Structures are given as C-alpha cells and as structure tokens.
Amino acid sequence: MDLLIKIIVTFFAGMGAGLGTGFAGMSAAAVITPMLVTFLGMEPYMAVGIALSSDVLASAVSAYTYGKNKNLDIKNGLVMMASVLVFTVVGSYISSLVPSTAMGNFSVFMTFLLGIKFIVKPVMTTKEKMQSVSAKKRVVQSILCGTLIGFICGFVGAGGGMMMLLILTSVLGYELKTAVGTSVFIMTFTALTGAVSHFSIGSSPDWLILALCVIFTLIWARIAAVFANKASPKTLNRATGIVLVVLGAVVIVFSFIK
C-alpha cells in the first residue's frame, strides 16, 4: 500500500511538473516539492533536491524538442544563464543576512497570475519582430535580465522558470515558443547545479521516489513540448495559461493542506 501511494503521488507530481516544464519552462520544484512534503511527509530540503533532479532531464528533453523545431535562442540563453547563476549565489548570500520574509509563496501566486495573463493577454509576437532587435542590444538585455532573475531566485528561493518566461516575453519581446525553449535550456543547467549542491550538502534521497519523479516528469514534459511546438500561437497561449492556472491553484490548495 505504501508503494502504491508513492507511485500515485509521484505520478501526479510528475505530470504537473512535466506539463509545466514542457508548456511554460516552469520549475518542477513548484509542483513536486509541495506534493512530496504534503502527501509523503518528506523533509522540504530533500523534496526540493528531488524536484531539481527531476527538472534536469525534463528541461533537457524539452530544450531539445524546442531546439529541433528552431524555437531556441542558445547564444543569448548562455549569456542570460551565466548572469542567473552568478546572481543566484549573490541573492542567496544576501538573503542569509536579512530576516526571513513572507515570500515563500511567491512562485505559486506568480504561476497562477501568469497563467491568467496568457489567457487574457496572449503573447502574439512573431519571430520576425523578435529578431529585429540588434544583437548587441539583445546581449545587454540578456545580462541585465539574467542578473535580476538570478538575484530574485537566490533571495526568494523560487520562481526562476516563471520569472524567465515573464521577462523573456514581456521585457525582451520573445515569441512564446522561443521564450519557453530558451527558458528550459537555461533551467537544465540551473536545476543541475541546484540538485548537485542539494545532495552534496544534505543526505542521500529516497532513490525510488527520485526515480519515479524523474521518469514521470520526463514523460509528461516530452508530451507537452511536442504538443507546444506543433500548436498555433493562440492555442499555445491558451493551453499554457490553463496549465499554469490549474497548477498554481492546486499548489495553493496544497499549501493550505500543509
């Protein structure tokens, strides 16, 4: 019975995380962590480590799918990733020096609100318009935005995928598919860094739960990424919005249950 409960919880956690990753470049931690803590009684630090581990392959396969369909900006993605990684460390350090703030649910509410945004005001930027920005300006924007995203993620401890998607579409003017593709590309490396540091500092995880979460998240991320790359911009905006609203609402409910 205990094994069955683990399979059921990790299946739905992986499904939610995979759909969020494949459709919107969302971090698996936003879904997997609260489900493991709430329903399996797992220690939060370990749950985050498992969620980050699940993120690595799911984001990698999503990035591959988006890249194969020419919906990935690797050059500027690498620039932004460098800024994100550096300033995540800076944000984490500063966060350790100040009193705890009530920002733990930041990414949850952001997920919900961003979902509503995609439904009400879809991103209809074309690739032609996106590519009209000069290469130099785009690099500078990537550095500045990566700095902001990294600092907020390090200080708050969450929200990386959602922050990237919001800034790539609203500030940098990316077309939605390219924004998601670039976001999951960056998340592959940030999640790997986070997972390695988590398990280096903490103890070994529950390997069965880790394996189940990784497999289920990977499967659903692949399904979502394939669908997203074939969908029209209007359909993708609507599907992304619905997925984010549902995931945001579910995680908020989990927070109250906890």
Quote the mean pLDDT of the chain. Answer: 85
- Backbone dihedral angles phi then psi of residue 98, each to the nearest 5 degrees: -115, 160
Give the integer Cα–Cα distance in Å for 229 and 226: 5
Give the integer Cα–Cα distance in Å for 210 and 64: 22
Using CB atoms within 10 A of its CB, is residue 31 exposed (0-12), middle (13-18) or buried (19+)? buried
Cβ pair 209, 6 in contact under 8 A = yes
Give the integer Cα–Cα distance in Å for 31 and 181: 20
Residues 6+ apart with CB under 8 A from 128: none
Question: What is the model's pLDDT at position 68?
Answer: 95
Block residue for tokens 């591959």: 64
Cβ pair 224, 23 in contact under 8 A = yes
Please tell me what DSSP assigns to residue 165.
Answer: H
Cβ pair 117, 241 in contact under 8 A = yes
- pTM for the whole structure: 0.84
Cβ pair 33, 51 in contact under 8 A = yes
- E strands, the chain, where? none
pLDDT tens profile 155-200: 665 556 777 888 888 888 899 999 999 999 998 988 888 788 777 7
Cβ pair 18, 223 in contact under 8 A = yes
**pLDDT band for position 60 (50/70/90)?**
very high
pLDDT of 105 > 80? The answer is: no
Please tell me what DSSP assigns to residue 121.
Answer: S
Q: Which amino acid is at 241?
A: G
Question: What is the model's pLDDT at position 101?
Answer: 46
Q: Which amino acid is at 74?
A: I
**pLDDT band for position 88 (50/70/90)?**
confident
pLDDT of 15 > 80? The answer is: yes
Question: What is the model's pLDDT at position 102?
Answer: 47
pLDDT of 206 > 70? The answer is: yes
pLDDT tens profile 22-31: 998 888 877 8
Give the integer Cα–Cα distance in Å for 3 and 14: 16
Report CA 121 to chain centroid distance, whole Å. Answer: 21
pLDDT of 92 > 80? The answer is: no
| Average pLDDT for 121-136 | 82
pLDDT of 95 > 70? The answer is: no
